[in-house]
Structure 1
Amino acid sequence: MNLVDKYRELTDLATNLSVANLQVREQDNVLYVDGTAKSAEDKESLWNAYGKLDPDFRSADVVMNIAVVEGTTTDYTVVSGDSLSKIGKAHGVSWQTIYEANKDVIKNPDLIQAGWKLKIPTA
């Protein structure tokens, strides 16, 4: 089985997610998947699909170069009682998306403080 067939589910998902400039090529027993996803969630979905096909990423036969379209963000000030999950739910994005967009501010996603200014990517 060639790599294109082995990872068909991954490449089909990329197509279904409308990854822009999608390029899939096999070279030297490695499958290269390049393109630009519409959101961090789409990129995360691709990595999750890859993780299901190669759970421990041991095959080392895929290189994914998926960029994310720079979208607009909303500024949000953390208030007492907030969590990334709560903020994400209110804005229609995952807590992981908020964390990725604010790694310069958030060192531990389980510990956020009132008064912090966060960028919330639009869904």
Structure 2
Amino acid sequence: MTTKAKYQEVLDLGEALNIKDGNVTEENGVLKVKGMAKTQYEKNRLWDKIKEIGGDKPTDIMANITVEDESIYAKHTVKSGETLGKIAKHYYGNASKYQAIFKANTDVLKNPDLIHPGQELVIPNL
């Protein structure tokens, strides 16, 4: 199996995330991946996939992923049935961090208990 084939799921995720300026080369059994993610959350998703496949310190892949907008962690479009707590749990692993999301979106949200499908929320860096 080539290194590129081994990490195909990472490349597929990069395409799904619309990573900009993507470049993939393979040299001496090492896959070199380069590109720009929209947010830190997308960069983290790519690194999580790399580590899932290659372990915590893979030696057969080198990734240089930059972030286009470092002022936020992510952007999120509210789906039916979601709460700020569920969204906070998804991005931060802790539902009680919902207040940070509320504070970052007071231009859109007037009450943390009232969010609606289709609203675009900023997920702030903590």
Tell me what 1:66 maps to: 65
- Work out whether 1:30 is the aligned partner of 2:40: no
After TM superposition, give the deviation of residue 28 of structure 1 in Å: 1.8
Runs of 4+ in structure 1 deviating by more than 2 angstroms, as ranges, are 70-73, 84-90
Provide the identity percentage.
29
TM-score by length of 1: 0.59
Letter in 2 for 1:69: E
Matches within 5 A, 1:1-123: 1-57=1-57, 59-72=58-71, 85=94, 86-87=96-97, 90-91=100-101, 120-121=124-125
Partners of 2:70 and 2:44 in 1: how far apart? 16
Aligned residues: 83
Letter in 2 for 1:60: T
Is there any run of 5+ residues in structure 1 with no aligned partner, and where? 74-83, 93-119
After TM superposition, give the deviation of residue 13 of structure 1 in Å: 0.4
Is there any run of 5+ residues in structure 2 with no aligned partner, and where? 73-91, 103-123
Partners of 1:89 and 1:8 in 2: how far apart? 37
TM-score by length of 2: 0.57
RMSD (Å) for aligned C-alpha atoms = 2.2
After TM superposition, give the deviation of residue 90 of structure 1 in Å: 4.0
Q: Is the 8 A contact 2:40 2:70 kept in 1?
A: no
Partners of 1:89 and 1:62 in 2: how far apart? 38
